[in-house]
Each structure stands twice: as C-alpha cells, then as structure tokens.
Amino acid sequence: MKRSLFFVDPSILLSLSMEKNRIQSTEAIELLETENILSFEEWTRRKKAHEQRTDTLLSEYLENRSRHQKQPVLDFLFEYYHFRPSKLRNWSPGVGPLLALDSNLNSNTNTATHTTDEDGGSPSYLPTLRELYLAQDMAYLDPKLFPEKRLSSLAWVIKLLHKTQDKRPQFGCFGLHEWAMVYRSHEPRHNQVPLRFSHEKIAEIVDSHHLLCTHFDAFRFFTPQAQPLNRHSLSREVFAESEQPGCIHTNMDVYKWAYKFYPWVSSELILDAFELAYQARYIDMRASPYDLSYMGLNPIKIETEAGKKEYRLAQESLSIKAKSIRARLILELELLWDTHSLG
C-alpha cells in the first residue's frame, strides 16, 4: 500500500503522546502543593471513613425508599437537590491533595493518563473519577481539566459565597415561608401531608406576622396572595444581593454550591454540607404548618412566643455551623480557580 506523504509511524505518535503526558503531569504537579501529598494509608483511611459515614446516614433511608416509603426531609434533599446518593458516597479528595499509590499493588507506576469510569488499566483501589490523573507514583485531580465554560459560574459562586459570608445575619422570619406557600390556598404543595390548622387559621396566623423572606427560591413558591405581603421584593436578578447568612434556605444551599463542583470539592466537605442541609430541612419542616408528628417531627410552634424563641435559637445555631462550612467551601473553590488559572 502506498503511504501518504504525511504518514507518521504509530510508534512515534505513541512516544510523543507519552512524552506530552509526562510533561503535562509534571506541570500539573508543580501547580499543587507538594506538602499536600497523602500517604496511601492516609487517603484510603479517609476514603473508607467517608463511605462508612455516608452508609450510616443513608442506609435506612435507601432501604425505605426501595419500599416507596416517604421521608419528607431526605426525599427533599434528593429531589430538590440533584445529587445522587451514589455520588455522595463516591469519595473525591478535591483539588490539591496528591494521592500516593501503593507501590506493592500498582503496576502502572510509569504511566501518565486520565482515568475513566470504564478504565480497567488504573489501580482498582483508586477513586472512580474521570478527572483523576495518574502520574509516576501518585494520582490527583488535574485542575486543568475543569471545563473553561464553567469558569464564569465558578467565579459567580465564589463571589456569592463571599458576599453572603460578609453580611450580618438576619433572624426573625420564624420560618413563615412555608406558611406563605399555603396562604389562602386550598391546594397546598404537600397535599398528602395533614396541616396543623385549618386554611382559615393559617391565613390568620400569617396576617398577624410580617413576612421577612430574603431567599428567592423560597419566595417563588409563595401563593399569589402571599407574595405582595413580603417585606422584600425578590427576583432572580437580585438573588445574590438578597442572600444573607441567617436564612435557613441560604444555609441549606451551601450543599448545592458544594456538590455542583464535585469532584473538585472534597467529598468530606460535601457531606458536611449535606448534613447541614439535613438539619436545616429538619428545622424547616418542624416549623411548617404541616403536622409531621407521626413521623417523629414534633412541631416548632412558631405561632407561640415559646415557639418563636425555639426557632430563632435553632436558626442562630445553624447559621454558625454554616459560616464554618461556607468558609471551607470558599477556600476549596478559590484553590480550584487559582490552580486552573496558573495552568
């Protein structure tokens, strides 16, 4: 067969490709802190601990879900937030750490390649992540693989988190957003769950309070009759300006901003944010007009002075926890931004 003038021997192409991988892997490692090297024993311990922690949190829920049994807190977290339990369990070190390979088990110490979920050539003990890069005797998430088209979204979220973190928290809404979602409506959103009061009594309670919601993604579910009663004029356009660190839903959303950047954000941080969201939703449902006592969610009776005090204390405690987790998330997202930019 006559060869093209542009024919290149496949062995030469393979050699060039391997050399390019070697150079790229060396450059990427230099972008990361060498003191972030995790020994094989350390990162496998962390991986196992994360999997066990996730199983403890979700095993009963997943078993009940297989029987089609409803759970208003966890159902919401997996339906409203689109992050599967399997991904929550699948450990990622996030950007920064370098995972030392086990030299006794690894047979690919001289390779440099990006793994895929189907890649049978990578050591089986490694996390199953497409973005994981194998080079020399270590593996890591290559920040240069973060999609360019997502950089504007990353910058927006970092700015949002900083802006929220720097504000003074506002308390005093008493969870009335859930009440506003059924205000003067005979078709409540969760119509399979009983209400604690009649529709008329719910309207009376709402009318006797000020609606102080600052979170648009709660406000948009208010009934048409309730929206004009809110003190703040909320819209998607002013979402970032309206967010504040005292809000139950703002703090719940720390989970959303964390998992949206999986696997670049560490799984331990995502799971911490998930637990925060669980606690927020638990408070949310207890303070709602729904009667969930049959499911172990005894009401926070915000229509009473004692209930208002209980809600505010829970809201303040959650805000303190969220501040710490949000700060860690900011650091991880900024590291992703910095290492990607340097690349």
Looking at per-residue pLDDT, the higher value among 6 and 70 belongs to 70
Identify the pLDDT of residue 298.
Answer: 95
Task: Answer yes or no: is 103 within a domain.
Answer: yes
128 lies in the same domain as 158: no
Q: Which of 208, 207, 210, 221 is nearest to 249 (CA)?
A: 221
Asked if residue 327 and residue 189 are part of one domain, the reply reads: yes
Residue at 2 is within a domain: no
Task: Establish if 90 belongs to a structural domain.
Answer: no
Beta bridge partners of 38: 99
124 with 158, same domain?
Answer: no
Q: Who's near 214: CB < 8 A, 6+ residues apart?
A: 170, 173, 232, 234, 242, 243, 244, 247, 250
Residues 115 and 188 in one domain: no
| 190 in the same domain as 327 | yes
Burial class, 136, CB count within 10 angstroms (exposed 0-12 / middle 13-18 / buried 19+): middle
Residue 238, CA distances (Å) to 232, 243, 269 in order: 11, 9, 28
Q: How confident is the model at residue 105 (pLDDT cuts 50, 70, 90)?
A: low
Neighbour count for residue 223 (Cβ, 10 Å): 17
CA 27 to chain centre: 30
Q: Per-residue pLDDT averaged across 168-193, rounded?
A: 89
Do 130 and 216 fall into the same domain?
no
pLDDT confidence of 69, banded at 50, 70, 90? confident
- In this structure, the answer to whether residues 185 and 224 fall within a common structural domain is yes
Long-range contacts: 183-192, Cβ < 8 Å, 24+?
183/222, 183/223, 183/225, 183/226, 183/229, 184/223, 184/225, 184/226, 185/223, 185/225, 189/221, 190/72, 190/290, 192/70
Domain check: are 196 and 128 in the same one?
no
Residue 157, in any domain of the structure:
yes
Q: What is the pLDDT of residues 16-61, one digit of tens each?
A: 333 434 334 445 555 555 568 999 999 999 999 999 999 999 988 8
Say whether pLDDT at 220 is over 60: yes
Same domain, 72 and 174: no
Question: Nearest-5° angle of CA 247, CA 252, CA 256?
Answer: 130
4 part of a folded domain: no
Residue 118 has pLDDT above 90, yes or no: no
pLDDT confidence of residue 27: 53
Q: At residue 129, does pLDDT exceed 80?
A: yes
pLDDT digits (tens, 9 = 90+) for 283-311: 999 999 999 998 889 999 999 999 999 99
Would you say residue 179 has pLDDT above 70?
yes
pTM score of the predicted model: 0.85
> Which of 123-137, 155-169, 274-288 bottoms out in mean pLDDT, i.e. has the lowest?
123-137
| pLDDT at position 8 | 37
Give the pLDDT band of residue 137 (cuts 50, 70, 90): confident
Q: How far apart (Å, rounded) are the C-alpha atoms in residues 145 and 153?
A: 15
Chain centroid to CA 122: 28
- Would the pLDDT of 91 be above 50? yes
Residue (of 98, 96, 2, 89) closest to 49 by Cα position:
89
Q: Is residue 224, in this structure, part of any structural domain at all?
A: yes
Q: Which domain holds residue 137?
A: 15-79+95-147
User: Could you say which DSSP state residue 230 is in?
Assistant: B
Q: How many domains does the chain have?
A: 2
Q: Is residue 331 part of a domain?
A: yes
